[in-house]
Every structure is written in structure tokens, then in C-alpha cells.
Amino acid sequence: MILESIKALMADDLRAVDDVIRRRLASDVVLVNQVAEYIINAGGKRLRPLVVLVAARACGYRGERHCDAAAIIEFIHTATLLHDDVVDGSELRRGRDTANSVWGNEASVLVGDYLYSRAFEMMVELGYMRVMDVLAGATNKIAEGEVLQLMNAHDPDTTEERYFDVIYRKTAKLFEAGTRVAAILAEASSAQELAMLRYGKHLGTAFQLVDDALDYSADRETLGKNLGDDLAEGKPTLPLIHALRTGTNEQRALIRHAIEEGGIAELGKITAAIESTGGLAYTARLARREADLAIEALADLPASAHKQALHELAEFAISRTH
């Protein structure tokens, strides 16, 4: 299955999630509606809510509350995007101007706060204390990840271990929370819940590794954002960390200066250094490892179209071009 065929398999559930999102976004404050709808409807993959839906069905869930859970995950993710773009000073996302470019930083931050609070209202309505515990813990970890990333910015001595800690908290944790919540709603066994937790964690890690590689290998139109954004913000992602570890003295000096100062004046030379040191291949290899671990976690789930869809989602995460 490619992504579109997985979406076709989940078409009814995805329509239900869209209905929940539209209904729960509603506010009598016009600017809240404008900003929230702008970012929600920006043409993203909706991968995180899709994973929640598929995971719940793969665990045997037959109800409808997983659609609310999927919408909660999307609201949390969207809130982080609004805040991230302000922190990073980003101007382009998914091929469109960022919300902060259109309405300003203040509106973006405040609407992000609105989406967080709406998500927590919906968690309460679900009526599962364990779901609230998982999602509250996830939002906390995401915030910590943002702070850690800020601490790593402009630091060329950032280690691979510190990098992986950031991407676990910033990205993988929300995938992990979504698949675990799906298992909780399905009243899955402890073993299945752990399996879904592992699946989400490794899927999210693979997804972020590919994201970081695409910043140096995709084209602007396909990627939907400016190339070299991570470098411009002084973020030492894995392709850079690998090149710093294995490159020539000249390459290392070039990359260290770029990370310390930020900016993309030497993007071409740095991209060439990443390629010549095998930085992209190294990142792709670790992404493949994470996808394989995600697939392995599915071993004890009963055979179904939804289990196969989870398998294919792991493959999609590392084969995508944007």
C-alpha cells in the first residue's frame, strides 16, 4: 500500500476526524478561527492522526473515540508547529507562508496555546485517565525537547546522543503517545500496548531522521520549505554531526563555523561535504534501522489489513521525498 491506499482504507475514519477537527476548532474569536484553520488546512500529510486510526483498528478497536484521539494528536502537533515557526523565525511551511509570517508572532503563539488547551479539554471528555496521563506526559516531553534543541543550537560539539534525545522528545514522543493511546482505547493487552509504544517511537524517529536528511537533499518546491533551514538556524542535525566526525579538517572548520554563526551562505559547500562524507547515507541507514524496529514491534499483532498498513507506513516514512 502507498499512502493514498492507506488513506483509502481509513477513509471513513479520516472523514470523521476531519469533522471533529472542524467542530472543535470553532471559536467565537475570529482570529483564532483564521489562524487555526490556516495551519490545519495547509495540506499536511496528517500522518500522526492516520497512525492513531490505523493502530487502533489493528488492535481490534471497533468504536469511534479513536477519531477524537486522532484529532487531539493533530491539535497538539499543530500547536507545536505554530510555536516552532515563531522560535525558528520560519517563513515557509508546506509551500505556504507560515502563520507567523501572515498574522505575526503574537497571534501564532496564542493560537498555539488555544489548540493545546482545546486538546486537553478533549482529553478530559474522552474519560480515560490513562489517556490523559500519556498525552500530558507527551506534551511535557515535547516542550523539553524544544528547550534542548534551543540549547544545542549553534553548538558544533553536539553529540549524536544529544541529537537523538532531542528528536525523541520533539518528534517520536508524539507518535509514541498516539499509538499507545490507540492501544489503550482498544483495551489491548499490556504486551500489545508496549508493542504499539515501540512502534510509534521507532516510526517517529525514522520520520525525523528522513526529515533532517531532506533538508540537504530535496528541492524547495517538493519539500515545501526553504532548503537549509536547519543550517540557517544553527541546528546540528545528524548529517552535519556525521560530517563533523568524519570530514577533513577543512570540511570540519567550514561546518563548525556555519553552525556557530547560522546562515546558508556556504550551503552548497556544506551539502557537498555531507555527501562526500556519507552523511546522507549514514542518516538513511539509521532511518532504515528505526523503520525495521517499528516493523518488528508489530510481530504479535494479529494479521489484518490494518497491521499491513502499519508496516507500509513505516516504509513510507523512510521512502518519502517531502
β-pair type (96-97, 92-93): antiparallel
> How large is the average pLDDT for residues 203-225?
81
Closest CA to 132 of 144, 117, 120: 120
Kindly report, residue by residue over 15-42, the tens digit of the pLDDT. Answer: 999 999 989 988 889 888 888 878 777 7
Kindly state the percentage of the chain with pLDDT values over 90. Answer: 76
Per-residue pLDDT, 7: 95
The confidence score (pLDDT) of residue 40 equals 75
Which of 214, 244, 242 lies closest to 229 in space, CA to CA?
A: 214
Predicted local confidence at residue 175, as pLDDT: 98
The DSSP code sequence of 25-50 is H--SSHHHHHHHHHHHTS----HHHH
User: Which pLDDT does position 91 carry in this prediction?
Assistant: 78
Q: Which helix (H) or strand (E) holds 96?
A: strand 96-97
Q: How far, in Å, CA of 290 to CA of 147, rounded?
A: 24
Indicate whether 253 pLDDT > 80: yes
> Phi-psi bin for 127: left (phi > 0), alpha (psi -120 to 50), beta?
left
Q: Give bridge partners of residue 97 from the DSSP assignment.
A: 92
Give dist(CA 294, CA 202) in Å, integer: 5
* Residue-averaged pLDDT of the chain: 92
Res. 262 pLDDT band, cuts 50 70 90: confident
Q: Which residue has the cell 490494518?
A: 306
| Burial of 75 per CB tally in 10 Å (0-12, 13-18, 19+) | buried
Banded model confidence at residue 96, pLDDT cuts 50, 70, 90: confident
- The answer to which of 68-77, 85-94, 280-289 has the lowest mean pLDDT is 85-94
Residue 90 has pLDDT above 90, yes or no: no
Cell numbers at residue 201, please?
517511537
* 162-189: average pLDDT: 97
Domains of the chain from N-terminus onward: 3-319 (1.10.600.10)
- Among residues 20, 12, 106, the alpha carbon closest in space to that of 62 is found at 12
